[in-house]
Structure 1
Amino acid sequence: MSVIDFMAAKSVPFEKNKWLSFVTHSEDTSDIICRLFDKWLSKHECDFIAEYLVDHADKDSAAKAVRNYCRLTALLHDIGKITPAFQSKITDNIEGHRELLYQNGLDLDRINDPKSSPHNAAGYAILTEFGFSDETAAIVGFHHGRTFSSADQIGNYPTNYYGRGSKQKREWRTLWNEWIEHSLSICGYSSVEDVPVPDVKLQMLVTALLIMSDWIASNTYYFPLFDTFEKPADRKSRLSYAWKKLDLPLYWEVEPIFDKCRMFEERFGFSPNLVQRELMEIVDNTVSPGIYILEAPMGLGKTEAALAAAELLAGKYKCGGIYFGLPTQATANGIFGRIKQWSEQQCDGEKHTIRLAHGMTELNEEYQSLFNGSANDVYSETDESTERNIFVHEWFEGSKQALLADFVIGTIDQFLLASLKQKHVMLRHLGLAGKVVIIDECHAYDAYMNVYLDRTLSWMGAYKVPVIILSATLPPARRTGLIKAYLNTKKDIQNTTDENAYPVLTWTDSKQAFGKALGYDTPDKKIKVSRLEEAELTAVMRERLSHGGCAAIIVNTVKKAQELARTISDELSEFEVICFHSRFTATDRADIEKTLLKRVGKTSSEIDRDRLIVVGTQVIEQSLDIDFDYMVTELCPMDLLLQRTGRLHRHDTHDRPQELTQPVISILDTDSGGSELIYGKWLLEQTKKYLPDELTIPSCIPSLVSKVYAEPNETSSEWEEHKRKIDDKETKARKYCIDSKKLRKSDITLDELLDDNVGNSQRAEASVRDGEDSIEVLLLTKSNNGCLRFLPWRNGGAEIDMTITPSERESAAIARERIKLPMYFTKRFNETIDMLDVIPDRWRESKLLKGELLLTLNEELESELLERKLRYSKEYGLEEIKENEG
């Protein structure tokens, strides 16, 4: 038995008779990485790594070579544990271990500064010392997902590597050499010089696969520790036990599709329209993965078009899943059921994983119904014979593993975070690199978020990941910017498509850009545009809806929505008013959405819609498939205004009152202070300048958007301010962004790319959205005797026991009372946090409630915070009470 067999890798501090040897853990990790490569990793990623890592024309030989390289990194990943620094720390947790090593000639005494040589950094140092390339050594150095010092470790801390006084240099170097020679041999390399050198893209992916393998191999549920004198189990049976426990499904594999229209009908239950057919045809005829930007009218079926195209692309390029990104949690929740239904049709008897990826997935009941805490199939409650092969795997429930599931539906943040200098960012890359990516409502992202979007698109292009981008319309410069980002080029993009073509598809194939106006088999819709003074609003509403029908009033701030909703309720008592914005608790907002879908959704009746007025913010223009007979809106940028018109006369199935058969949108003339703060004065003035008296939807969309966003011939103070704000946002965003320009270089290592730790903080993680890191609280009432209760209309205002840990069900009910505070409080962040209540001690034992803050209301549902009075109601949400209000 070699001395290396006595090296320890794992221990349990309070069970000194339990351990795992370095050799066993290294072999566990290498066995798992091979199994993941064979059974789980998408063929797209396998082929991509092989193409850039090894020089083999034969695919089987190339795959074997890549497998061997991954196996080598796994065997070597913990070589930094074969050091006095590491062994001196762990040996005190293992009974008799220090003495055992001493008997075998290794002295661990007086290792005074072991923390200066963490084992990942030590691994990097040892491998470079023995001639490995910086690129391979960096994979080992980054296997804990964070940056590390690559300075001269051995020279600066010789005691950590060679023992006290460096007297055992020969002994420790012999151990390193023994394990390196052993690892090279079983992976098919005759020497270090034979090991291939990965570029930074491959470093990112192989490191992620190594991290995943190490996490699985370190989980004692899959790979138990041994008693100190117990003989290790047979490797084959140990791996078999772990793999069965882990129960990861095989990679998703799409069979060739020969009849695209038939496939579409089977998936969605109706025949594809012209836009959907042409997108599928173009996708089918491309010869290399690319980006596809589909700009088409609201309600045309872009979601179905994208899913059909994604299935074709997955079959062509062997992708193992999809990621569907949306602007908000509400939009992600809204589409989850549709994507789940589509995903279920992809299984063909196999099991596959699904993941809803955002910060509040615990509160999505449909998603939670798929998660049973294990990797077992979920069966229908109504039909026990029906097996549901789409399920939520608990291993992918961690935020860092979210994108590793097969079918991922989430907020755009999950995609943007792939360009954040953040610990374990490699796992996001591994999750995305094997998928087809779909980004919806791309027009909803501002200049700040676009920096992250462009950087991540550059990585997708580098990984040859097919990307589908959906939007109602985009300014020409933004469309070009997306193409250039994906191709990671500064060169001008030649595209001969008429910039006023609509609907339009722009795509790349073999690094060339193409564009085509798509067929459109729906007649144009004429929408009259009128102007409306705020003082006239109630009179106009009364007149317009005098014979029934429904209307939407969309304003740009929550405060304005609340004020108008109150005014209209007071002055138009014969009408029903629903106020809808982002400052409701999660539960109340969900209730409002359900009400709106019933009252003004696609299947709503004339009675449902009768004399109903919905007053709200931008949330009305997103996600919900709702339809109004008349619309009023505050001025907003042209592309968003046109998006709002998508909720006006959306469906032809409704019988509208005679006065409302012609669609009309009225532009509300209000104090624009809040609007200018959100959108900027220049964009609003440009929109006002070019907004015609009649919109011809959709043919007018591209020309109007182009005019508004075009750079003016003559500058103005408003234009300069607009440009300055964009520049400031982009500069601010770059602070935490990975530099994708370095992708063009061939000799970059991960430590050069991820040379900053700023992404490890919560604030950095929130930085993918500018100003979105607002304070969230749980909203409860506190009775005069100090008891916490639900809001009066929730569970009957039941009291919540503060002396016990809430059950999962009760914890979820409490967590659904989450609400964002107004931005005023975010600007006074620390003061606000100090003023808020903390949850009861026993509640901290709940996973859903740990770390949450409380805003408690009195029995009148009011509270005071930083000298401001707040009130909450089911009708208007959280609002600030003015001094003169009762």
Structure 2
Amino acid sequence: MDYIAHIRQKDGKIQTVQDHLREVQELSERLGSKIGVRYLAGLAGVLHDLGKFTMGFRTYIQQAVENPDEPPRKGSVDHSTAGGRLLYRRYHKNSAAVDDKLAAEWISNCVVSHHQGLRDFLDPESTPSFIERVDDKALDEYENAASEFFTHFPEHDMDEYYTKAKAELRHHLSFVQQQGLPPVAISLLIKYIFSCLIDADRTNTRRFEEDEQEEEPFDHLSFFSKSYDKLIHHLQELNQSDHADTTINRLRRAMSLQCEDFAAHPSGIYTLSIPTGGGKTLASLRYALKHAITHGKERIIYIVPYTTIIEQNADEVRNILQEHDMILEHHSNVIEEKGSEDEDYDVKKKKIKLAKDNWDRPIIFTTMVQFLNTFFAKGTRNVRRLHQMSNAVIIFDEVQSVPVKCISLFNAALNFLHLIGRSSLLLCTATQPGLDYVKHKLHLPKEPEIIQNLDEVVKNFKRVEMIDRTTAAGWKAPELAAFIQEQMDEVDSVLAILNTKSAVRKLFAELEEQEWVKESGVRLFHLSTNMCAAHRKEELVEIKKALEDEDRVICVSTQLIEAGVNISFDCVIRSLAGLDSIAQAAGRCNRHGKDPSRNVFIIKSADEVLKQLPEIRIGGEKTERLLHEFRQEPERFGHDLLSPAAMSSYFCYYYHQIGDGDEMHYHVPKLEKNLFDLLDMNKDYYHAYKNKHREAPKLLSRPSFATAEQYFEAISNAATSVLVPFNKEARELIVSLNGELGAGELGTLLQKAQQYMVNIYDHERKGLEKSSNVYYLLHGHVLALRDIAYSEKFGVEITGEGEWSFLST
């Protein structure tokens, strides 16, 4: 009898369990071998679906395919526990050897969790839940399944394979100890192995379902070599332009050459402190391509704070390299993971699970949120991509955007990627965030900075005057509008950046009603994250064109414009925030040094409510302190508010305020624990277990994966992604996602949909639901917005009263 792993929907063809296990094993091995866990990952692959060697599952899957509209009851057949049980009983239960036990624990967890996300080894209730699952749970046909498994995978071969896996485990444990890494590094190693399994399983299943042939291995060296040649050609053309000999352009060339030379250094964590406007994107790409060619890296990944930067930087790189299909933008998850898959075989949901979403391109642009989610978010969709970050060059653009609560987790992830993942990491910003002030530090080399004579470079790049106009009471929208009018009497363009969307909208509305704005032909623009990426991109193109045409322009924006957007205004007004944010805002003023100097005003908006934005509020308080000190002793900071000395003092004050307690380790008040410790020593849960049971846990592994993932949100008040009907393509996507799609086609559509997503908070979603302005697509997995609730001017309108509100009458 053939036991069934999958049945192809279109023609009823069967993929046998033994074929699926062998193919997933081979792919898992390939992914794991990149960092020396070939056999550990392969072990997970060959055992993950052992429970499908049963009549129960055979009947279950046949019924599911025959009755797609009425699939069998969720969870009625457990097929993932069996592989974990075989490992636990064969190698853990009757062995005293540490490596026997640990290898069984690690891989058992990956196997039993491959439909929901890694489980806790120690849980908050101090129950032996993991052992109960792998050893005690009633499991129909387990002995028959194990026996059938060994007919295809002989016991002697299995034992030899396990011995090789243990050797890998011992090597990594020894290496972690030698490098002085905390135990959280081992937790991330387990997650890496889990990532290999998830991607191998989903990829093999999709290939069978879609009847795809396995792709030929990608020639990374050839691609990066061609890309490098194109970049150098582009830089040579820039060097022959009319403006090539300006001071700023000479400095840009010098820093770009330093990046080229530095690429020969071995893999490591380095800093690239190019001042704002210094050509950071192309200089870092030059380093990345050269380093990838020299050291055989497989991927270049840009991690940026905002989707706005993704759009601009990815377009810039595409235009230079002319390799559109090889550059992937990952803005946000169109489909948010909701709980576990419960091992159900719902044919409709299966397509969503299999949709291609695994960063399989040589150049990736994504956000800090997605980077953190890959390591720490719940479920299987995010972690699937983790293995792609090994043997890569990873560039963190505007690294100061790391949420404070995530700093220890972020540093742990970077140390793992460098020391275990064999990747090179570039912390790229004009304002390095001083991570030396934190407890769990990055493993930086003695001299990590690429740019030489940094103080001199910063001095030569100075092209703005910082002017403090903060007041205790703050500026309300009418006062700020009047101040903007004063500046517009002197210049042709003003950018005002405020901290909240509501304050931005209030100022925009105030300016819109001003007679002088209407009469003088000023073009007024609004930017906020209520607009989808495609919408913001169009608006930025329009703003740039207006500036190039020397129109009179006022732009009112949230902070999304202040990092990585290549745009230049005559004057910038920035509401009080962290000095690093103010420095980024200043980079949008006189960006190319067209004038000897221009003004950047620091004000305090009275229309902002920062209660839910503690990092901005604390950053503003520390900047106020620095402004006071600057007034008293400007020479202490070289008479420059944006000097390295000023920035160093700011970060010192900022991190001292945050403290070195749980705040940087992701404190969870409900648990009275921090997530870093749950993935590290996990002492509290360990001692709680001992106290409750009067003995140590039978497991040697301690991480509480599921509990940590349950509480992790890269950004507090986690938002829901909604697909908006911005243009014709977006509306066509909405229609398509309401139809029947194959897993391959679905993956393509979900990728296209990213540029039309807007993140909305829970109270906003509830408001839209109350007014019936959102609805679900793709069997409840994608949230879409009705036309009536999207405004061409402001984006998502929570009240549903946008420009198209007449459609409802």
Work out whether the TM-score is over 0.5.
yes
One-letter amino acid of the structure 2 residue matched with residue 472 of structure 1: A
Secondary structure, aligned partner of 2:519: coil
Partner amino acid, structure 1, of 2:432 = L
Indicate the residue corresponding to 1:142 in structure 2.
110
Partner of 2:308: 330
The one-letter code of the counterpart of 2:558 is T
Matches within 5 A, 1:200-239: 200=186, 203-219=190-206, 221=208
From the superposition, tell whether residues 813 and 674 of structure 1 become closer, same or farther in structure 2 (CA, over 3 Å): same
Shift of 1:617: 2.4
Offset of residue 526 of structure 1: 5.1
For residues 390 and 296 of structure 2, the distance between their equivalents in structure 1, rounded to whole angstroms, comes to 11
**Residues 516, 160 of structure 1: alpha-carbon distance in 2 compared, 3 angstrom cutoff:** farther
Q: How many residues align?
A: 690
Q: What amino acid is the match of 2:84?
A: A
Aligned AA (1:407):
I
Other structure's SS at 2:131 match:
coil
Residue 731 (1) aligns with residue 631 (2): no
- Contact 1:396-1:402 within 8 A present in 2 as well: no
Unaligned runs of 5+ in 2: 64-74, 120-128, 173-185, 240-251, 336-350, 683-696, 741-745
Pick the aligned partner of 1:289 from 257, 264, 267: 267
Kept in 2, the 8 Å contact 1:682–1:722? The answer is no
Q: Distance in 1 between matches of 2:162 and 2:724?
A: 64
The residue aligned with 1:634 is: 575
Mark the CA change 1:778 to 1:206 in structure 2 (over 3 Å): closer, same or farther.
closer
Distance 1:801 1:321 in 2: 32
> Is the 8 Å Cα contact of residues 767 and 799 (structure 2) preserved in structure 1?
no
Is 1:29 aligned to residue 24 of structure 2? yes
For 1:160, what is the secondary structure of its paired residue?
coil
Matched, 1:410 2:377: no
Structure 1 residue 18 displacement after superposition: 5.7
Write the distance in 2 (CA, Å) between the matches of 1:113 and 1:261.
57
Deviation at 1:834, TM superposition (A): 5.2
Matched, 1:574 2:541: no
Task: Measure the CA separation in 1 of the matches of 2:642 and 2:796.
Answer: 49
User: Residues of 2 paired with 1:864 and 1:338: CA distance?
Assistant: 28
Structure 1 or 2, whichever has the larger Rg, is 1
Q: Tell which deviates more after alignment, 802-811 or 466-475.
A: 802-811
Partner of 1:679: 617
**Deviation at 1:416?**
0.9
1:725-750 deviation digits (Å, cap 9, x = unpaired):
9828831397556866469xxxx999
Partner of 2:221: 253
Distance 1:802 1:257 in 2: 41
Greater alpha carbon shift after TM alignment, 615-624 vs 139-148: 139-148
Task: Describe the superposition over 1:684-716 as per-residue Cα deviations: whole angstroms up to 9, x where unpaired.
Answer: 42143145589989894211122233349xxxx
Any idea what SS the aligned residue of 2:220 has? coil
- Choose which of 87, 102, 118 in structure 2 pairs with 1:124: 87
2:463 pairs with one of 502, 506, 525:
525
2: CA distance, partners of 1:516 / 1:195: 48
Gaps of 5+ in 1: 1-5, 54-65, 96-111, 163-168, 225-241, 346-350, 363-394, 488-492, 498-504, 508-513, 713-718, 781-789, 878-886
Alignment partners' CA distance in 1, 2:488 and 2:482? 10
1:471 matched to 2:429: yes
Aligned to 1:768: 714
Offset of residue 449 of structure 1? 3.8
**1-side partners of 2:573 and 2:630: how far apart?**
15
Tell me: CA distance 1:274–1:437, structure 2 relative to 1, closer, same or farther (3 Å).
same
Q: Give the Cα separation in 2 of the matches to 1:267 and 1:321.
A: 22
Cα 1:270–1:196 change in 2 (3 A) is same
For the 8 Å contact 1:274–1:518, the answer to whether it is kept is no
Instruction: Provide the rounded CA distance (Å) in 2 between the counterparts of 1:329 and 1:833.
Output: 23
How many angstroms apart in 2 are the aligned matches of 1:305 and 1:700? 22
Query: Where do residues 258-407 of structure 1 align in structure 2 (5 Å cutoff)?
Result: 264-265=232-233, 269-270=237-238, 273-284=253-264, 286=265, 288-341=266-319, 344=322, 353-359=326-332, 401-407=357-363
Q: C-alpha distance in 2, partners of 1:290/1:646?
A: 28
Q: CA deviation at 1:470?
A: 0.9
Q: Which residue of 2 aligns with 1:597?
A: 544
Q: 1:800 to 1:705 in 2, by over 3 A?
A: closer
Letter paired with 2:538: D
Q: What's the offset of the Cα at 1:410?
A: 0.9
2:528 maps to a residue whose letter is: S
Q: Where does residue 98 of structure 1 map in the other structure? A: none
Residues 8/276 of structure 1: CA separation in 2 closer, same or farther (3 Å cut):
same
Cα distance change on mapping 1:799 and 1:356 into 2, 3 Å: closer
- Aligned partner of 1:617 among 530, 545, 558: 558
User: Is the contact between residue 280 and residue 312 of structure 1 (CA under 8 Å) also seen in structure 2?
Assistant: yes
- Say which SS state the counterpart of residue 506 (structure 1) adopts: coil
Q: CA deviation at 1:432?
A: 0.6
AA matched with 1:121: G
Percentage of identical aligned residues: 14
Q: Deviations over 1:243-297 (max 9, x none)?
A: xx24254251269999x9997456674456222222332332x3x3211111221
Tell me how far 1:430 sits from its aligned partner: 0.6
**2: CA distance between counterparts of 1:313 and 1:644?**
31
Matched, 1:448 2:405: yes
C-alpha spacing 1:214/1:18, structure 2 compared with 1 (3 Å): same
Partner of 1:434: 391
Q: Please report how far the alpha carbon of residue 301 of structure 1 lies from its aligned counterpart in structure 2 after TM superposition.
A: 1.0
| Pairing of 1:638-677 with structure 2 (within 5 A) | 638-653=579-594, 662-671=597-606, 674=609
Counterpart position of 2:650: 708
Instruction: Provide the rounded CA distance (Å) in 1 between the counterparts of 2:194 and 2:733.
Output: 46
Cα deviation, 1:148-198, whole Å, max 9, x if unaligned, reads 554166763576356xxxxxx6x777555544436718x9x4995896342
Given the superposition, is the C-alpha separation of residues 585 and 473 from structure 1 closer, same or farther in structure 2, using an over 3 Å criterion?
closer
Structure 1 residue corresponding to 2:167, chosen from 192, 196, 200? 196
User: Higher helix share goes to which structure?
Assistant: 2
8 A contact 1:331–1:622 mirrored in 2: yes
- Counterpart of 2:374, as a letter, is A
In 1, the alpha carbon distance for the partners of 2:622 and 2:394 equals 30
TM-score (norm 2): 0.70
Displacement of 1:304: 1.4
Answer yes or no: is the 8 Å Cα contact 2:400–2:580 preserved in 1: yes
Distance 1:446 1:467 in 2: 18
| Change in 2 beyond 3 A, CA 1:588/1:673 | closer
Deviation at 1:585, TM superposition (A): 3.3
Aligned-residue RMSD, C-alpha = 5.3
The two structures have a TM-score, normalised by structure 1, of 0.64
- Judge conservation of contact 1:561–1:579 (CA < 8 Å) in 2: no
Q: How does 1:793-872 map to 2 (within 5 A)?
A: 826=762, 828=763, 832=767, 835-837=770-772, 844=777, 850-852=782-784, 854=786, 856=788, 871-872=801-802
Q: In structure 2, what residue type is equivalent to 1:520? A: V
Secondary structure in structure 2 of the residue aligned to 1:851? strand
- Equivalent residue, structure 1, for 2:3: 8
Which amino acid is 1:147 matched to?
L
Partners of 2:28 and 2:197 within 8 A in 1: yes
Check 1:315–1:519 CA distance in 2 against 1; reply closer, same or farther (3 A cut): farther
Q: Give 3-state SS (helix, strand or coil) of 1:122's partner.
A: helix
In 1, Cα distance between equivalents of 2:649 and 2:768:
45
Task: Give me the whole-angstrom Cα distance separating, in 2, the residues matched to 1:304 and 1:184.
Answer: 51
Distance in 1, matches of 2:233 and 2:650, equals 39
For the residues of structure 2 that align with 1:859 and 1:524, how far apart are their CA atoms? 39
* 2:705 alignment counterpart: 756
CA deviation map 1:548-583 (0-9, x unaligned):
521222222222223333333414233414242315
- CA distance 1:666–1:740, change in 2 (3 Å): same
**Structure 1 stretch displaced more, 172-181 or 662-671:** 172-181
- One-letter code of the match for 1:605? D
CA positional deviation for 1:324: 0.5
Matched to 1:688, the amino acid is L
Q: Distance in 2 between matches of 1:857 and 1:682?
A: 37
